[in-house]
Amino acid sequence: MEKIIEAGMKARVLFILIFLIGGGTTLYSQTDKVKDTTLSIKYLISSDWTFTFGNLNSFISVNQGQLAIEQRVIGAKVLARYRYGAIEGVPNYNELYANGELMLFPQNRVYAFTNGGAEFSLLRGLNLRAWGGLGAGFKVLNSEDHVFEPAVSINYEYNNYSTAIFYSGDSTTLVHTAMTSIGWTGSHNFFKKKLLMVHNFKWSQDLIFAANYKFDGGFTLAVPVIKNFMVKTAITGSYQNIVPSDKKQADLIWTIGLAWGNL
């Protein structure tokens, strides 16, 4: 009976996501009349650092680049991030993350996208995580000073762990599965653009094995110094319920850094 209920829940999630992506996008692409045909190019390059002394004696840097290109019919986003950390000179935190999106009617209130990416994480014991799928974004707020965009997606995901994990009753280093994700991105300008607040969050749930889920998010405050150049501080956190036995599930980091761009 529990398996039947679980299967029914998965079917409902899939139906809702397909409806939002297919029906919602068609509806808004017909009703939203966007006249702006200019090409929008936005970018951001940032570098952050955090230092810990004492028993841990570690150093962590987070370097990130973003590029967004948007026109009425089609758009693209690329995000690449490299995090480096070492304890007594031995790398223990290294992560490389890259994700790309191709969007259809990105200026509409509802737009469709396909995405794909890959991740390596020494912190999480991941030799490789790769994914690809499709989804829908929703422009709840989209003004000059305030942007808030929730999104939903379904992805195929491949995981190759450095040591065995417990997944769906088995001990394995390879996991192939389907994930559904729900999250948002947001940015807000205050005091005539003298203070910028950025926030994001994403929850991912395995559609095959319910115990496999993860979430991550962050909160950033930035103060412009000169045009397109900012000093900033950020708090980011993540949690993955399934990791190798020698790794921790949760991670929290506070950083201070610099950023250059117009995102």
Report d(CA 16, CA 23) in Å as an integer: 10
Q: pTM of the full predicted structure?
A: 0.80
User: pLDDT, tens digit, for every residue of 224-257?
Assistant: 999 899 999 999 999 999 999 888 899 888 899 9
Q: What is the mean pLDDT of the chain?
A: 85
The region of weakest confidence among 4-13, 125-134, 141-150 is 4-13
Asked if pLDDT for residue 15 goes beyond 60, the answer is: no
Rounded distance, CA 41 to CA 20, Å?
A: 27
106: DSSP letter: T
Q: Is the pLDDT of residue 100 over 60?
A: yes
Judged by average pLDDT, the poorest of 3-7, 48-52, 98-102 is 3-7
Are 95 and 216 contacting, i.e. CB atoms less than 8 angstroms apart? no
| 163-210 tens-digit pLDDT | 999 999 899 999 999 999 999 999 999 998 899 999 999 999 999 999
Percent of the chain with pLDDT over 70: 83
Q: State which CATH number among 2.40.160.40, 3.90.480.10, 3.20.20.70, 3.40.50.970 fits the domain covering 2-261.
A: 2.40.160.40
Confidence of residue 36 (pLDDT cuts 50, 70, 90): low
Q: Which amino acid is at 228?
A: N
